[in-house]
Structure 1
Amino acid sequence: MWNLKGQTAVVTGGSKGIGRATVREFLDLGAKVIFTARDPEHIQKFEEELKAEGFEVTGIEADVSTKSGRDEIVKIVQEKWQALDILVHNAGINIRKKAKEYSEEEYRKVLEINLVAPFELSRMLHPFLKQSERGTVINVASAAAMQDVGTGTPYAMSKAGLLQQTRSLAVEWAGDGIRVNAVSPWFTETPLTEGYLSQEEKMTPILNRTPLNRVAKAEEMSSIIAFLAMEKSSYITGQNIVADGGMSINAI
């Protein structure tokens, strides 16, 4: 049961960061994977690298915030598998600004990609997850969903909404044999955070606030995601695993 042999998985935002680590972890555990991204060059390079190692993987160019992008994902799943065992919503963005500085277009974009897209894609892929009879949805949320961590209000709003989406769908879809859970990382080494974490005035307070005194690696998040995808976690649904190096229990 400590494997994903023969299982099918879709990972959005799968060419970088936590998504990339998750794709590789799933493949190492025996799953067949479709991953999405928006940059065709990154997709092709990662897909070729994985196929050269003998993995069954397909990378597709799809913007999950658009209907056409979501339609493409559903089309490929239907063509390849008919049933889907695992759906990981990892694609996300952030625009860091003060609340009054956002344009409507900017904050709606954050909400559209981080919150609306997972809801829409989950609904569209529900028949395939139900067909699996052991379907599981895993949402990559954030520590920002539960407390202010300086990432900007729209991002925090989107991730807080994603947690409630997790809980509500877990109850609604339990009868269909579908589990829904979330993982909430604190700062993690990814391309999304690279520029931010490279600033000493930003990194120092983060480390001071974190008992483990470091930020996470993407592989530390992908291992939690893999566990939630396994039959070993079959009695866990509607939950949020906080992986923050102890930050949230530190009163400093």
Structure 2
Amino acid sequence: MGNILIIGGSYGIGNALARQLSENNTLFIASRTSEGLEDVNCKYIPFDASEDILDISLLPTHLDGFVYCPGSIDLKPFKMLKYESFVNDININYLSLVKVVQTIIPLIMKSKQASMVFFSTVAVKVGMPFHTSVAGAKGAVEGFAKALAAEYAPNIRVNVVAPSLTDTPLAKRLLNHEKKVDRMNNRHPLKRVGNAEDIANITSFLLQEQSSWITGQVLGVDGGMSTLNVS
């Protein structure tokens, strides 16, 4: 595949993806910590997406793949959410993504066929209570990705993966008890929540040549939640 940049690869989906990609690619991981990357073949770049400007002098002359992993889960009733919660969610999920894309787009443009993958949530397609802040932010990501895909076709492919609840450190508060896990499992037609490898698998595919005719898509990887009603 070539030169791949992952923003946020020290844990969760980003870490699972890094492990899949590190053997056959030149992998660059920019994240706040290198924890979890000790045995991953990559070049680590200290980077806080919410505050820093990425130093492209630390990257190769071109990038063939880019994945932005930072996100948030701030699930509360709308009446309990402060305005600052919406600002924080839009900043980390969307505006920081835009900032990085603007920084690296000259490197992406130098690839013969580059692929970019962002993350959304099933809650954009399926209205869910307590998701007003994160769904609004991720909805912006989906719109941005489609517009970007149209603008940069055919040289750059841009797709979005929209998971349901996935068992990662980010979601630990929602899965910290056996009863919570059982309840969340049963909400999905496939009767389990996702894991980091489930999402890394589809992300890796979208970076590869096998997906070369896929762009501008939002792919629901959600145990069937967004399209099936089996109750």
Normalising to structure 2: TM-score of the pair? 0.93
Q: Report which of the two has the higher share of helix.
A: 1
Query: Structure 1 residues 138-147 or 199-208, which shifts more?
Result: 199-208
Which string of whole-angstrom CA distances, capped at 9 and with x for unpartnered residues, describes residues 131-190 of structure 1?
012111100111122113445211011111111111110000114x11100111111110
1:220 partner amino acid: D
SS at match of 2:170: coil
Q: Is 2:2 aligned against 1:16? A: no
| Range with greater deviation from structure 2 (202-211 or 101-110) | 202-211
CA contact (8 A) 1:13 1:92 kept: no
Pick the aligned partner of 2:47 from 54, 62, 77: 62
Structure 2: distance between partners of 1:102 and 1:84:
39
Other-structure match for 1:71: 54
Supply the distance in 1 between the matched residues of 2:58 and 2:31 (Cα, whole angstroms): 14
Hey, what does 2:214 align to over in structure 1?
236
Deviation digits for residues 55-112 of structure 1 (CA, Å, limit 9, x no counterpart): 3x1122211122xx2333x2321xxx11011110111122222222222222201110
Among 167, 188, 200, the residue aligned to 1:210: 188
| C-alpha separation in 2, matches of 1:230 and 1:108 | 34
Alignment of 1:95-244 (within 5 A): 95-150=74-129, 152-175=131-154, 177-199=155-177, 202-244=180-222
Structure 2 gap segments, 5+ residues each: none
Structure 1 segment 16-95 matched on structure 2, within 5 A: 16-28=11-23, 30-38=24-32, 40=33, 43=34, 45-50=35-40, 55=41, 57-66=42-51, 69-72=52-55, 74-77=56-59, 81-95=60-74
Deviation of 1:205 after TM superposition, in Å, equals: 3.8
**Aligned residues of 1:144 and 1:151 also touching (Cα < 8 A):** no
Structure 1: segments with no counterpart, 5+ residues: none
2:38 match: secondary structure: helix
Q: Percent identity?
A: 30
- Give the ranges of 4+ consecutive aligned residues of structure 1 lying more than 3 Å apart after TM superposition: 199-205
Instruction: Give the secondary structure class of the aligned counterpart of 1:210.
Output: coil
SS in 1 for 2:43: strand
Whether the 8 Å CA contact 1:209–1:250 is kept in 2: the answer is no
Please say if residues 210 and 247 of structure 1, whose CA atoms lie closer than 8 Å, have aligned partners that are also in contact. Answer: yes
Instruction: State how far apart, in whole Å, the 2-side matches of 1:188 and 1:159 are.
Output: 16
TM-score normalised to structure 1 length: 0.85
CA distance in 2, matches of 1:117, 1:37: 13
